[in-house]
Amino acid sequence: MNITEKILSKKVGREVNPGEIIEVNVDLAMSHDGTSPPAIKTFEKIADKVWDPEKIAIVFDHVIPANTIGSAEFQKVARDFIKKQNITHHYTHGEGICHQVIPEMGLIEPGKLIVGADSHTCTYGAFGAFSTGMGSTDMAMVYATGQTWLMVPEAMKIEVEGKLPQGITSKDLILNIIGKIGIGGGTYKTAEFCGETINGLDVDSRMTMCNMAIEMGAKNGIMEPNEDTLSYVMKKTGKTKNQLNILKSDKDSIYEKEYLFDVNDLEAQIACPNDVDNVKGLSKVEGTSIDQCFIGSCTNGRFSDLLAAAKVLKGQKVSDDVRLIIIPASKKVYQEAMNKGLIQIFMDAGAIICNPGCGPCLGGHMGVLSENEVCISSTNRNFKGRMGDSESEVYLGNPSVVAASAIKGFIENPENIF
């Protein structure tokens, strides 16, 4: 069995096979300011008490602080629910983006089954957990019963070998993978990332990759936990290695499809408008004029991302023709960036720094693009109209490329800055 089948089998108490529909008890149910209120409204039609207030986590991140009376009312529904149901894990004061905050708070462990009312819940696969997104109606049922149903996914083995060249990141790797497999190529499948390159990635880089598994339609993204991951989890949970449920795929486990990627000669990758699989090498799009640059999100708003951007921006100025928005993925990331002098570098360069949250990523409340404006962003989606007007465009890249582009006012290779 592969790692996903092992987690699901353990949950059901017998060996499960791809294609089977199973009912499972979830270990954690996550929802945010956008998806909790509709889930709560449905929940209140079917039950009075949640199944377990300690296993529900609610994070406000999509529109925080509230920007309209409508979003304030929406958030009030969730705040009242948290109080009434005594929800233990609530992060409603700008702690950061759900997919960053939940692992930081020690709520993710290898082998656990986590569901979230957000499509990028697949991020926690970086820790060797089974995690997947669902809609608010399904979440209402989880609030009430602690259970959900799943079809056991077929698995794609995505093996990666080689050493990432200087300046090339796991964002470039996952964009390259999505460019090859396509936005529908992984629909309802497990994307299992493995091989020497994956084993050598740090936690931040692993999260970036699993985060984007949904961009090829995958049910979950998953990696066997490596040493860096285990020390992160042990630090955050206070548990020892023996207390964790560390599962690995059998050597002879069966995959529906197997892919092999070599990163030795990988160039920086850019997803061009308007699909995440419209991926080109950076050299093909260099010089494209832009209006806005955004560094942040659950894909690339972590400390290592900000550090990479700061290395490019140090002593430089943002072009008069663009604005650069930088948003740390969480308060903890913000604090570390402040302590290490990164925020000063960003301010000196002329960046706009906003409070932790999703920010411009989904065009909800800040950094919205007008007609025909172009943004280069470290986020995960570039769908038509994603960041504002339906005639605006978004290019996706790694944080150093976004930083270099902010200095020049057009898409630029960071190597040309140093």
* 3-class DSSP assignment, residue 188: coil
Q: Which stretch binds ligand IPM (CB under 6 A): 50-58, 67-75, 118-126, 170-178?
A: 118-126
Backbone angles phi, psi at 295, to 5 degrees: -115, 115
Which residues are CB-neighbours of 397 under 8 A, at least 6 positions away?
171, 175, 268, 269, 270, 271, 282, 376, 377, 378, 405, 411
Out of 198, 203, 298, 407, which residue is the one contacting ligand SF4 (CB under 6 A)? 298
> What sign does the dihedral 397-302-312-326 (CA atoms) show?
positive
Measured CA to CA, the distance from residue 60 to residue 166 in angstroms comes to 36
- Using CB under 6 A as the binding rule, whether residue 55 contacts ligand IPM is answered as no
What is the x/- site pattern for ligand SF4, positions 35-74, by CB under 6 A? ---------------------------x------------
**Under 8 Å between Cβ of 225 and 112:** no
Give the span between the Cα atoms of 392 and 251, in whole angstroms. 47
* Side chain identity at residue 199, one-letter code: N
**Window 74 to 113, contacts with ligand SF4 (CB under 6 A):** 97
The DSSP-derived string for 15-50 is: ---TT-EEEEE-SEEEEETTTHHHHHHHHHHH-SS-
Give the strand pairing for 374-377 and 393-396. Answer: parallel
Minimum Å distance from CB 299 to ligand SF4?
7
Q: How far is the CB of 320 from ligand IPM (least distance, A)?
A: 31
Closest residue by Cα to residue 275 from 178, 166, 137: 178
Q: Which of 8, 24, 29, 34 binds ligand IPM (CB under 6 A)?
A: 34
Among residues 118, 32, 20, which one has the least CA distance to residue 82?
A: 32
x/- mask, ligand IPM, residues 269-288, rule CB under 6 A, reads: --------------------
Of 117-125, 146-154, 303-311, 391-399, the segment contacting ligand IPM by CB under 6 A is 117-125
Among 2, 190, 269, 380, binds ligand SF4 (CB under 6 A): 380
**Cα–Cα distance, 197 to 242 (Å, whole number):** 26
Pick from 104, 118, 154, 393: which binds ligand IPM (CB under 6 A)?
118
Residue of the chain from 362, 385, 409, 417 that contacts ligand IPM (CB under 6 A) = 362
Judged by CB under 6 A, the stretch of 106-114, 154-162, 221-229, 356-364 that binds ligand SF4 is 356-364
**Which of 343/361 has CB closer to ligand SF4?**
361
Amino acid at 38: P
Q: Which stretch binds ligand SF4 (CB under 6 A): 201-209, 282-290, 303-311, 354-362?
A: 354-362
Which one of residues 361, 374, 401, 404 is an interface residue with ligand SF4 (CB under 6 A)?
361
User: Could you tell me which of 175, 133, 177 has the C-alpha nearest to residue 157?
Assistant: 177
Q: Which of 27, 118, 393, 412 binds ligand SF4 (CB under 6 A)?
A: 118
Token pair listed for 233: 């989890």
Query: Which residues bind to ligand IPM, rule: CB under 6 A?
Result: 34-35, 62, 118-120, 133, 362
Residues that bind ligand SF4 (CB under 6 A): 62, 97, 118, 120, 297-298, 358, 361-362, 379-380
